[in-house]
Amino acid sequence: MCKRTICFALVLLLGFDGRAFSQNSAPSSAARAAAHEPGDWTNTTFVELVKRAKADCTVDTPNVIRCSGPVRIDSLAKTSINGKGVRVEFSDARPGRGGIVLANATDVVLADIEIGWLGGGARDPVRPDAPRIQTFGDVTGCANDAPGGALLLELPLQGTQPVGAVTVWDKVIGWPWYRAAPDAVEVYFPGGTQASFSKGRSECFPQLAPLVGRHVLVRHLVYANHAFQCWGCRNVTIEKVKVTSAPGMAFLFSNGGSKLVLRNDVSDLHVCPIASVQNLPLPRTRRISPASKAI
- Does pTM surpass 0.85? no
Q: Is the pLDDT of residue 67 over 50?
A: yes
Q: Tens of pLDDT along 30-57?
A: 445 444 455 689 999 999 999 999 999 9
Q: Is the pLDDT of residue 267 over 90?
A: no
What average pLDDT does the chain have? 78
DSSP per-residue letters across 123-179: TSPP-TTS---EEEEEEEEPGGG-SSEEEEESS---EEEE--EEEE-BTTTBSPPTT
User: Residue 88 — φ and ψ, nearest 5°?
Assistant: -105, 115
Q: Is the pLDDT of residue 228 over 70?
A: yes
Q: Is the pLDDT of residue 278 over 70?
A: no
CA distance 190 to 165: 9
pLDDT of residue 103: 95
Q: Domain residue spans in the chain?
A: 4-119+224-284, 134-219
The stretch 156-164 carries a mean pLDDT of: 94
The stretch 213-242 carries a mean pLDDT of: 93
Amino acid at 236: V
Q: Name 94's Cβ contacts closer than 8 Å, sequence gap at least 6.
A: 131, 224, 225
Among 31-45, 103-117, 232-246, which is the least confidently predicted range?
31-45
- DSSP 8-state class, residue 32: H
Q: Is the pLDDT of residue 147 over 60?
A: yes
